[in-house]
Amino acid sequence: MPPKAKVTIKDVALKAGCGIATASRVLNNSGPTSAEVRERVNRAALDLGFSFSAIGRALQSSKSMTVGCLVPSLANPVFAEAVQGVQNELVGTNYQLLISSSNYDDKADDAAISTLVSKEVDGLIVTMVAPERSPALKLAHQRGIPASLMFHDPIKGFATSYVDNFEAARDVAQRFSECGHRRTGFLALRLATSDRSRNRYAGFHAECRARGMPDPALIELSETDANRPEKLAAILAAHPDLTAIFASNDFLAIAVQKAARLLGWIVPRDLSVVGFDGIEIGKLLDVPLATIETMPEKMGRQAAKSLLTAMQGGVLEQLPPLPFRFRAGATLAAPRAKSRDDGRVAAQPPSVPLIKTILKQG
């Protein structure tokens, strides 16, 4: 058994005593072949341990049978799950998944897309800092490479699989309001590089306004402070009037619980918290986390499904957003009665999705 470094179809044809065209036809079941030569070719292929060179095939067919996928980081479980969803959908097709990540850097985003394109991927599935102004993505589009977005709100020219962050955030504001909260805060990480967080803030802000609540305090946490509960506690202490915090993800929400504990505050008596994403651990906490449940895996699946039909010549069409669901939890309750709703500075209004805000408020 000599596992020759490279056994090509030429070797097979030689051993089977036929032309490579015939061997190709046998091996692919394409075109007519006699039973006798079929037998010889198959035996030769088996003996030699032949397998097709995907590269040779790709060159000749100009189809790489590869899908490129870009997300900010796999260290974020939400994106990791989404990529797994893509993968799950791709299993069973002949497509392979080429991945890349940008670490939330829009320059890296562009470079990554370019690289994927030069690898001649047949399609793209991307979540990036700013897809609407990525030259590389536009170029890919011009070259006819179908692209499917994940997590992003719809953009002209692309299909996207997403959850309506704006609406979900409005839901949270509504529940805060119904509980009797008025002064609220919105806590996020990396607002500048996450349209998701911005959209959540916009929706939250819009609904607070619509209900006559003061504008929510916008609290942005630095990457490093996210892992320093005492830092977060100090920030919370500086906002003693807030009775409810909407955190842009569940990890932050749990960090808020911790920070509150450090301050001697009791959740939800002294501070209500609602998270976003719906991670399982939230259910297991001493005080189970109220949150918005989303479906990252489904998001990936849907993006992949759309892309597959597009790559098979179909048209990329925009589906409705995936559903979200409010998960009740003990971190949300009515605020303790402490009536001081007087003059406080309002947070600045949302900058980016202003149109949407105005639109939805009517």
Report which of 126, 254, 127, 251 is spatially closest to residue 189, judged by C-alpha positions: 251
Judged by CB, which is closer to DNA: 60, or 339? 60
Q: Which of 247, 287, 292, 332 binds a copy of itself (CB under 8 A)?
A: 287
Q: Which of 237, 266, 281, 346 binds a copy of itself (CB under 8 A)?
A: 281
Smallest distance from a copy of itself to CB 195, Å: 21
CB 275 within 8 A of CB 292: yes
* Partner from DNA, a copy of itself, none contacting 174, C-beta within 5 to 8 A by type: none
| Integer angstrom CA distances of residue 323 from 125, 207, 267, 292 | 20, 19, 28, 10
* Partner from DNA, a copy of itself, none contacting 227, C-beta within 5 to 8 A by type: a copy of itself
Say which residues have a Cβ less than 8 Å from residue 43's Cβ, sequence separation at least 6: 16
* Partner from DNA, a copy of itself, none contacting 258, C-beta within 5 to 8 A by type: a copy of itself
Smallest distance from DNA to CB 259, Å: 55
Strand order in the sheet with 290-293: 217-221, 184-189, 244-247, 272-277, 290-293, 325-327
Smallest distance from a copy of itself to CB 13, Å: 19
Residue type, 15: K
Put residue 31 in one of left, alpha, beta given phi > 0 → left and psi -120 to 50 → alpha. left
Judged by CB, which is closer to DNA: 13, or 244? 13
Smallest distance from a copy of itself to CB 208, Å: 27
Site residues (CB under 8 A) for a copy of itself, limited to 296-335: 297
Measured distance CA(287)–CA(342) in Å, rounded: 31
- Give the residues across from 101 on adjacent strands: 71
* Partner from a copy of itself, DNA, none contacting 359, C-beta within 5 to 8 A by type: none
Smallest distance from a copy of itself to CB 180, Å: 25
Beta-strand pair 325-327/147-150: unpaired
In a 10 Å sphere around its CB, with 0-12 CB exposed, 13-18 middle and 19+ buried, how is residue 74 labelled?
Answer: middle
Q: Residue 310 CB: number of other CB atoms within 10 A? A: 19
Site residues (CB under 7 A) for DNA, limited to 7-66: 8-10, 17-22, 24-25, 27-28, 30-34, 36-38, 50-53, 55-57, 59-62
Judged by CB, which is closer to DNA: 38, or 209? 38
Q: H-helix or E-strand containing 110? A: helix 106-118
In a 10 Å sphere around its CB, with 0-12 CB exposed, 13-18 middle and 19+ buried, how is residue 113 labelled?
Answer: buried
* Partner from DNA, a copy of itself, none contacting 147, C-beta within 5 to 8 A by type: none
Report which of 330, 344, 335 is spatially closest to residue 269, judged by C-alpha positions: 335
Q: Residue 107 CB: number of other CB atoms within 10 A? A: 9
How many residues bind a copy of itself (CB under 8 A)? The answer is 61
Q: Which of 62, 224, 339, 348 binds a copy of itself (CB under 8 A)?
A: 62
Q: Which of 19, 39, 47, 54 binds a copy of itself (CB under 8 A)?
A: 54
Smallest distance from DNA to CB 157, Å: 25
CB 279 within 8 A of CB 221: no
Site residues (CB under 8 A) for a copy of itself, limited to 99-138: 99-101, 103, 108, 114-120
**Chain positions contacting a copy of itself, by CB under 8 A:** 3, 5-6, 49, 51-56, 58-59, 62, 64, 66, 73-75, 77, 80-81, 83-84, 87-88, 91, 96-101, 103, 108, 114-120, 139, 142-144, 227, 229, 251, 254-255, 257-258, 261, 280-281, 283-287, 297
**Chain positions contacting DNA, by CB under 7 A:** 6, 8-10, 17-22, 24-25, 27-28, 30-34, 36-38, 50-53, 55-57, 59-62
